[in-house]
Amino acid sequence: MRSFVLGVKDFEYETYHPVDYEKCAACGVLMQNPLPPASLVPTFYPATYRNYLKEDGALFSFLKCAQEYLFVRFLEKEMEANRGIQILEIGCGNGALLRALGRRGFTNLSGCDFSGSTWEEPYIRFRATNVETEFPFEEQFDAILMVNVIEHFLNPVAVLETCRDHLTPGGKLIIITPHADSLALRVFGLYWAGFHAPRHVYVFTKKSLEAIAEKLYLQKRTFCFTADVGQWSLSVQNILQNKVWARTTLTNGLAWYVAVVSMACIPIAFLQNLMTVRGAGLFYVFEKHK
């Protein structure tokens, strides 16, 4: 029997009509049904989209910096501190993570995003393109990063296959993505921030993502659940934005009170990971066979 989550709104940017998600009975992945037209997808990302902006508010900037620091330290360990490796980030937004890698001494950095924005750094190659239609680099990479991006694609399997083909033998594909079986989804339902509708076309389960990796002959090297304070605080914001009496003007998709709510949600988000197997996000390192 199929199940649906119906009428999920774009509470943050109001770019599109409410969408429906269908749940796969076999693997639990949630997918928009029907899929949005490819021609409309760029309109889901306005100029005020948070990932394109340099500043995101003091608290969110702090949380992002902390996340980037932990991610960079993990990557240093995973790649055995080899700072000369070729790294590509797909969906790099404003380049914050690549800059953090550059500050730690990584020198061969590339990024792409279909935002259409342009920026330059002396140690980063950037291409404004959609990898679903055009992969912007010819060479192979030692590591490809996809941090909260695979869920945005209309054909994620094809994107992952392309990434595999552009990895060196033994290269790493590192994925972070919202978890379709998270505790926060069960608490908030259609207000869950992990939908990020209409931008998140697919929301994966552990089973569904591992099945894709197996199909593509990618070996699972590392897995863990991740905590995400924003999933809780932005879900609360979504509920309030749906109430006429509580609705407020959003700046870059955020309400004035979201920093306070985020502070209150920090212990909840981390307890979720410690006490359940329904973590907010999935963190994977897949390896291409040597």
Residue ranges per structural domain of the chain: 45-186+202-288
* pLDDT confidence of residue 117: 66
Render pLDDT for 147-194 as a digit per residue (tens, 0 to 9): 999 999 999 999 999 999 999 999 999 999 999 999 999 999 999 999
Residue 64 has pLDDT above 80, yes or no: no
Query: Can you tell me the distance from the alpha carbon of 7 to that of 38, in angstroms, rounded to the nearest whole number?
Result: 20
Q: Give the C-alpha separation, 45 to 50, whole Å.
A: 9
Beta pairing class for 86-90 and 141-147: parallel
Check pLDDT > 80 for residue 54: no
- On average, the pLDDT of the chain sits at 91
Q: Is a pLDDT exceeding 80 seen at residue 2?
A: no
Q: Under DSSP, is residue 180 helix (H, G, I), strand (E, B) or coil?
A: coil
The reported pTM is 0.94
pLDDT of amino acid 211: 98
C-alpha 136/C-alpha 153 separation (Å) is 16
- The residues, ordered by sequence, that sit 6+ positions from 67 with a Cβ below 8 Å of its Cβ are none
Q: At what angle do helices 58-78 and 258-275 cross, to 10 degrees?
A: 30
| The pairing of beta strand 167-178 with beta strand 141-147 | parallel
- The answer, yes or no, to whether residue 62 has pLDDT greater than 90, is no
- pLDDT tops 60 at residue 21: yes
165 or 3, which is more confident: 165
pLDDT at 58: 56
- Residue 174: predicted pLDDT: 97
Query: Given 2.20.25.90, 3.90.600.10, 3.40.50.150, 3.40.50.300, which CATH number is that of 45-186+202-288?
Result: 3.40.50.150
The CB-side HSE value for 195 (13 A sphere, CA atoms) comes to: 28
Higher-pLDDT residue of 278, 11: 11
Is pLDDT above 80 for 6? yes
Burial 94-122 (b: 16+ CB within 10 A, else e): bbbbbbbbbeeebebbbbbbbbebebeee
Burial label, 3 (beta-carbon count in 10 A; 0-12, 13-18, 19+):
exposed
Residue with the bigger pLDDT between 94 and 80: it is 94
116 pLDDT more than 70: no
Average pLDDT over residues 36-47: 94
Dist CA 178 CA 196 (whole Å): 10
pLDDT for res 55: 57
What is the pLDDT at residue 60? Answer: 59
Q: Which segments within the chain are labelled E, that is strand?
A: 3-8, 19-23, 30-32, 86-90, 108-113, 124-128, 141-147, 167-178, 202-203, 218-226, 281-288
**Helix (H, G, I), strand (E, B), or coil: what is residue 177?**
strand
pLDDT of residue 249: 96
- What average pLDDT does this structure show over 232-239? 97
Cβ count within 10 A of residue 212: 18
Q: Average pLDDT of 91-110?
A: 92
**pLDDT at residue 122 in the model:** 83
Say yes or no to pLDDT of 255 above 60: yes
Q: What are phi and psi of 120, to 5 degrees?
A: -135, 145
* CA distance readout (Å), 255 to 12, 67, 149, 247, 263: 9, 22, 23, 9, 14
Report the C-alpha gap between 87 and 162 in whole angstroms. 15
**Cβ-proximal residues to 258 (8 Å cutoff; 6+ apart), any chain:** 57, 233, 234, 237
pLDDT of residue 158: 98
| Element housing 183 (H / E) | helix 183-188
As a whole number, mean pLDDT of residues 252-265 equals 93
Q: What is the pLDDT of residues 117-145, one digit of tens each?
A: 667 788 899 999 999 999 999 999 999 99
